[in-house]
């Protein structure tokens, strides 16, 4: 199955919102990018540059744009293409148990919940949630809620994962733990990932490539290939190569 992402000459204007010239609010301008199947790519850029809008377009939630988008061989503007999409907030339902929240995609698809409960047990352990299946979200730590939300996202239809700052609300230590965990889980399951973040270190640590966007209307200003071996190790942040990656990203952010 082809789970690549290809975007060519993408433009997006919110016509209901006036910009300085009164023609509409330009959000994205001439965006061109490719994400290979099973690649992990992060998008960095200033607030308001259109990163989240780009994910919504790829997910098929925004239709009023110009340009071409292909998920594999299908255009989400004209055909529903299943993707796994996660926002910054975990969006767990407070009245449901952790397990009930995680199984929501199966429930929506009217799948066999009894069978799913049995089959999901290895993933519950792999995602660090074993023993907490019957806990409510308020009883869980921030990291556990995010892991539950990521597992729920993983169970959605589709081999493309769109992650919109999933660790943005976490404290630094928990965030680092989640990054380490995500690299291990992704290394095992290898879905195509497009990951939005404001954190340069996070982008370098997680990604095969980092794309840097300009201020609004957002376009791709630069691309950096991250040539560190996997699984990633924290010691890499002390290397001169890491510093060079960071300098390159900062340079693109200033242009």
Asked whether the predicted pLDDT for residue 239 surpasses 90, the reply is yes
Question: Mean pLDDT across the chain, nearest whole number?
Answer: 90
Taking the C-alpha atoms of residue 99 and residue 164, their distance in angstroms, rounded to an integer, is 23
Taking the C-alpha atoms of residue 148 and residue 217, their distance in angstroms, rounded to an integer, is 34
pTM of the model: 0.90
User: Phi/psi zone of residue 215: left (φ > 0), alpha (ψ -120 to 50 degrees), beta?
Assistant: beta
pLDDT band with cut points at 50, 70 and 90 for residue 21: low
Question: Contact 180/186 with Cβ under 8 angstroms?
Answer: no
Asked whether the predicted pLDDT for residue 126 surpasses 80, the reply is yes
Task: For 150-177, write each residue's pLDDT tens digit.
Answer: 889 888 878 999 999 998 888 899 889 8
pLDDT band with cut points at 50, 70 and 90 for residue 133: very high
**The residue to which tokens 């009023």 are assigned:** 64
Q: Count other C-beta atoms under 10 Å from residue 80's C-beta.
A: 9
Pairing, β 160-164 against β 220-225: unpaired
Task: For 170-220, write each residue's pLDDT tens digit.
Answer: 889 988 988 998 898 898 888 999 999 999 999 999 999 999 999 999 999
In the predicted model, what is the mean pLDDT of residues 92-109?
A: 92
The predicted structure's pLDDT at residue 17:
58
Asked whether the predicted pLDDT for residue 111 surpasses 90, the reply is no
In the predicted model, what is the mean pLDDT of residues 118-129?
A: 88
The predicted structure's pLDDT at residue 50:
93
Taking the C-alpha atoms of residue 31 and residue 219, their distance in angstroms, rounded to an integer, is 5
CA end-to-end span of the chain: 38
Task: For 56-74, write each residue's pLDDT tens digit.
Answer: 999 999 888 999 999 999 9
Domains delineated in the chain: 1-83+158-167+191-255 (3.40.50.300), 86-157 (no CATH)
- 3: its two tokens: 């789970």
The predicted structure's pLDDT at residue 170:
85
CA atoms within 13 A on the CB side of 179: 25
- 24: its two tokens: 């509409």
């Amino acid at each position: 199955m082809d789970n690549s992402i290809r975007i060519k000459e993408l433009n997006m204007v919110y016509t209901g919102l006036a910009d300085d010239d009164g023609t509409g609010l330009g959000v994205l301008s001439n965006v061109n990018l490719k994400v290979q199947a099973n690649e992990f790519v992060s998008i960095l850029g200033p607030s308001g540059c259109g990163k989240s809008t780009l994910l919504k377009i790829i997910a098929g939630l925004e239709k009023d744009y110009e340009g071409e988008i292909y998920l594999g061989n299908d255009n989400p503007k004209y055909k529903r293409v299943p993707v796994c999409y996660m926002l910054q907030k975990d969006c767990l339902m407070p009245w449901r148990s952790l397990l009930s929240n995680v199984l929501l995609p199966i429930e929506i698809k009217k799948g066999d919940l009894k069978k799913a409960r049995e089959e999901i047990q290895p993933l519950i352990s792999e995602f660090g949630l074993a023993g907490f299946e019957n806990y409510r979200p308020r009883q869980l730590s921030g990291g556990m809620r995010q892991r539950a939300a990521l597992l729920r996202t993983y169970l959605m239809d589709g081999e493309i994962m769109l992650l919109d700052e999933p660790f943005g609300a976490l404290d630094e230590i928990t965030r680092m733990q989640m990054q380490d965990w995500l690299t291990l889980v992704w290394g095992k399951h290898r879905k195509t990932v497009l990951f939005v973040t404001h954190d340069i270190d996070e982008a370098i640590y997680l990604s095969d490539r980092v794309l840097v966007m300009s201020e609004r209307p957002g376009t791709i200003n630069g691309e950096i290939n991250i040539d560190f071996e996997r699984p990633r190790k924290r010691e890499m942040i002390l290397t001169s190569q890491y510093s060079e990656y960071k300098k390159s990203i900062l340079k693109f952010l200033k242009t």
